[in-house]
Amino acid sequence: MANHKATKKDVRQSRKRNERNRYYGKTTRNAIRDLKAVTDKATAQKDLAEVESMIDKLAKRNVIHKNKAANLKSKLAKRIASLA
C-alpha cells in the first residue's frame, strides 16, 4: 500500500473514477442492447439520439476510443435504417 498522502489520494480517486467509468460503460451497453431489440423504426430513431449521446460521452471521457464510438454509432444507424 502507498505511504505518501498524495499517492493514497490518487488511489482513492482512481478507484472512484474506475467505478464511475464501469457504471457509464455498462449503462451504455445495456442501452445499445435495448436499442437493438426494438423493431419499430420511429421508436428506434428516437432512442438512437439518446444512445449516440451516451456513446459520445464515453468517448469524450476516454472510457472508449473515439473510433470505437464512431463504429458503434455507424452500426446502430445502419441497423435502424434497415428496419422496415
Given a contact cutoff of 8 angstroms between Cβ atoms, the answer to whether 50 and 38 are in contact is no
pLDDT digits (tens, 9 = 90+) for 31-50: 999 999 999 999 999 999 99
> Does residue 70 register a pLDDT over 90?
yes
Domain count, the chain: 1
Per-residue pLDDT for 84 more than 80?
no
CATH code assigned at 31 = 1.20.58.110
The confidence score (pLDDT) of residue 6 equals 94
Convert the pLDDT of each residue in 16-36 to its tens digit: 999 999 999 999 999 999 999
Residue range of the domain that includes 51: 5-81
